[in-house]
Structure 1
Amino acid sequence: MRSLGLCAAVMTMCAGSAPAVAETMLRIGTVLAPMDPMGQGLEKFKAEVEAATKGEVRIEVFHNSQLGDTTEMIDQARAGANVGTVTDVARLSSFVPSLAIMSAPFLFDTYEQADTFALSADYLAWGDALKEKSGLMMLASNWYQGPRHLLTQKPVSTPADLAGVRMRTIGAPVWIETIRAMGAEPTPMAWGEVYSALQLGALDAAEAQPTAITGAKLYEVVKNVTKTGHIQLVTALVVSAEAWDQISPENQAIVRDLAVESGRYASRLTIELGEKSLADVAASGVSVSDVDLAPFKSAVAGVYDMLNLNAEVASVNKVLGR
């Protein structure tokens, strides 16, 4: 009996000293460079989630398309892999069409406006619908990557200057129709292929936010950056719903709160580094210019009607009190 008691005591001691087993592992990827604000935000998110959940939720971060292009990572997550990514919300609109409003042209004037709307009841309800319809869980939708500008080989002053220009854009309807309305030929392509496509002439142009221009060194393969800011790139952190459901409700609340706070951290970095990025682009010899936005705004005015987003525009205006 003493022997059995000793064994029990040893087992109890071993159990007490055993390391906690991670409740789940989330592998979160991005197509951007590690020093991009999104990459820095994800590293902060990783550290704070692991600390706050006492290691019960662990996160691995993969930069520079190590887990594939954004679409490939989304497909992996939908298939049930413990994968997540930071994605433009328009890619998710094939499941919940209303989500396309976050990428609508010339809709949000500031990051603060987008952040406010991303936490509104209407928007959060669309996020809930996304889980049901796609197998993706949206943790936060306030990860701001900056204003999208035109990257071209020839100067651009009006939409007419974009006639016949093959321009890389994101392969979602609101992006495609916005670029087409602005006068160019929208050409969806994986982000990791854009540099070589511009270099070899397979593309004539692209559109990107300042930190991505420097992160991908696109200033080496274009001659002009025109500051249209036609879309404010507000992105979402999404993960596999199957992996998400393995996390306890208490830890889910922690993870979602930290996703919002890390999104704000990354967004502040985006804003701080954006002007420096453009200055660096100009210093490299690329022409960086402002332009009269009125013709571009007029050109894209029909996109809301075309994609049936007028009700969503009204929701944005109501939330923002305008």
Structure 2
Amino acid sequence: MKYMRGIVISLLFVLGFSLVFVFFTQKEDDKTILIRIGHDQPVVNERHIALTHFKELVEERSNGEIRVEIYPQGLLGNEATLTESVSFDDLEMVATSSTNQYGSLISVFELPYLFDSYEEAWATLDGEIGRKVADTYLDNNLRILAYFENGFRQITSNRPIYSPEDLKGLKIRTPEFPMSIQVFNALGANPTPMGFGELYTALQQGTVDAQENPVANAYTNKFQEVQDYLIMTNHQYMPVHLIISDEFFQSLSKEYQEIIQKSAQESAEFHRQLLREREQQMIDELVADGMKVIEVDTEPFKEKVGPVYEWFARIHGQEIIDRILKAAKS
């Protein structure tokens, strides 16, 4: 019996050692590079769909040598936490509009009524100005690969809004961005900054009366269940920044860097087109669910936001604003 027990123990030891050896050998031979991307939107949102497109492009072009995992709906944290994780090189990538804590220059693209069309915004973002602004983030280990779409922002509310006077005293949720707060202060509302993950509950419980977001974010997060009106103010254009840890990026071969960079820009263009094609459909479905759409005259709103430009120019100078306006119009 002792003899048999000894044999069993010996076999278990050999088997265990073999499994450990195989495990570490496989780990050592595994050349696959893992890229994890976090964002805060649900899987039905066009942002997630565009990131899935990015995943497919990268994995195909690298012959599976790069593997991409996407973590939606704040599974790895809110936008600020995700961006911080990339800055610390604890996470490879993030798709976010929350970067102001690393420098407010990039919020120049969010000045109210800066762009008259999507095409103006894209030309500016994809050009020299967009790249120079993006490069200011490298000091914080944040490399902006491409500008994904967030689109023009609209207001949803439980009361109708036709003019800036109707915003007076309105408790409206904004992102925790100084630019957004400045815009709604200038328009006479009562901006209430909070994280996106808290927003639906805040609307449901009446903590805030309104919010502002692109149509896609309102639609995919079912704000029509807790809001009565969609007011088409187009008050800000806002991109989403597709960011990679620069330390991680620099550790890759030139071939892999080119694959990631090219796939990022193509996915940004895919995202933009996807949203353009689907936005009217989303509005129609919001209406079918009982939401009322109000098309406002934007001129009175534009007249109110001059102080926002003055505030930004005091911090960053007038030149960057003038350059963007010139580039957009050309």
Instruction: Compute the TM-score of the two structures, normalised by the length of structure 2.
Output: 0.86
The answer on whether the counterparts of 1:20 and 1:56 sit within 8 Å (CA) in structure 2 is no
The 8 Å contact of residues 145 and 209 in structure 1, kept in 2 or not, is answered as: yes
Per the alignment, residue 12 of structure 2 pairs with none
User: Is 2:211 the partner of 1:206?
Assistant: yes
Q: Taking every aligned residue pair, what percent have the same amino acid on both sides?
A: 28
- Opposite residue 111 of structure 2, the aligned amino acid is A
Instruction: Specify the alignment match of 2:112 in structure 1.
Output: 105
Aligned residue number for residue 314 of structure 1: 322
Report whether the alignment pairs 1:180 with 2:185: yes
Match of 1:267 among 268, 272, 288: 272
Residue in structure 1 matching 2:252, options 232, 247, 256: 247
Deviation at 1:228, TM superposition (A): 0.3
Which residues in structure 2 correspond to 1:89-128 (within 5 Å)? 91-128=98-135
Provide the residue aligned with 1:55 in structure 2: 64
1:62 deviates by 1.2
**Amino acid aligned to 1:21:** K
User: How far apart are 1:119 and its partner, in Å?
Assistant: 2.1
Tell me, which stretches of 5 or more residues in structure 2 are unaligned? 1-24
Q: Which moved more, 1:284-293 or 1:239-248?
A: 239-248
Q: Residues 30 and 63 of structure 1 are in contact (CA less than 8 Å); yes or no, is this contact kept in structure 2? A: yes
The SS at the match of 1:107 is coil
Distance in 2 separating the partners of 1:21 and 1:94: 35
Tell me which of 279, 285, 289 is aligned to 1:280: 285
Counterpart CA distance in 1 for 2:186 and 2:35 is 39
In structure 1, what is the Cα distance between the partners aligned to 2:102 and 2:29? Answer: 40
Residue 80 (structure 1) aligns with: 89
Letter in 1 for 2:142: L
Alignment-derived partner of residue 21 in structure 1:
31
Q: 1:95-154 deviations in whole A, cap 9, x for unaligned?
A: 34321111111111222222211122232122222112x22111112x112221111111
- In the alignment, which residue of structure 2 is the partner of 1:6? none
**Equivalent-residue separation in structure 2 for 1:254 and 1:188 (angstroms):** 38
Letter in 2 for 1:65: G
- The CA RMSD over aligned residues, in Å, is 1.8
User: Secondary structure of the residue that 1:31 maps to in structure 2?
Assistant: coil
Contact 1:111 1:144 in 2 (8 A): no
State the 4+ residue runs in structure 1 displaced beyond 4 angstroms: none
What displacement does 1:164 show? 1.6
Note if contact 1:57-1:247 (Cα within 8 Å) is conserved in structure 2: no
CA distance in 1, matches of 2:182, 2:236: 12
Residue among 128, 145, 157 paired with 1:152: 157
CA distance in 2, matches of 1:185, 1:314: 29
Q: Distance in 2 between matches of 1:112 and 1:258?
A: 21
Deviation at 1:19, TM superposition (A): 6.9
The answer (yes or no) to whether the contact 1:164–1:185 under 8 Å persists in 2 is: yes
Against the structure 1 CA distance between its residues 146 and 180, is the aligned structure 2 distance closer, same or farther, given a 3 Å change threshold?
A: same
Residue identity matched to 2:258: A
TM-score (norm: length of structure 1): 0.88
Cα distance between partner residues in 1 of 2:243 and 2:162: 37
1:94 Cα shift?
4.1
Q: Do the aligned partners of 2:83 and 2:99 also contact (CA within 8 Å) in 1?
A: no
Deviates more, 1:302-311 or 1:195-204: 302-311
Distance across 1 between alignment mates of 2:67 and 2:116: 36
Q: 2:168 aligns with which of 163, 166, 188?
A: 163
**Alpha carbons 2:161, 2:294 under 8 Å: kept:** no
Cα deviation for residue 321 of structure 1 reads 4.3
1:80·1:242 contact (CA, 8 Å) conserved in 2?
A: yes
**Does the 8 Å contact 1:26/1:243 carry over to 2?**
no
**Contact 1:179 / 1:186 at 8 angstroms: preserved in 2?**
yes
CA distance in 2, matches of 1:252, 1:82: 17
Q: Which has the larger radius of gyration?
A: 2
Give SS of 1:307's match. helix
How many Å apart are 1:219 and its aligned residue?
Answer: 0.5
Question: Is the CA contact 1:45–1:259 (under 8 Å) kept in the aligned structure 2?
Answer: yes
- The whole-number CA distance in structure 2 between the counterparts of 1:123 and 1:281 is 33
Aligned to 2:146: 140
Q: Conserved in 1, the CA contact under 8 Å of 2:114 and 2:325?
A: no
The aligned residue for residue 3 of structure 1 is none
Preserved CA contact (<8 Å) 2:112 2:236: yes
Further displaced range: 262-271 or 96-105 = 96-105
Q: How far apart, CA to CA, are the structure 1 residues paired with 2:286 and 2:110? A: 25
What is the number of residues matched between the two proteins? 301
Choose the corresponding residue for 1:291, options 296, 303, 308. 296
2:82 aligned counterpart, secondary structure: helix
Residue 146 of structure 2 aligns to a residue whose secondary structure is: strand
Where 1:156 maps in the other structure, the secondary structure is coil
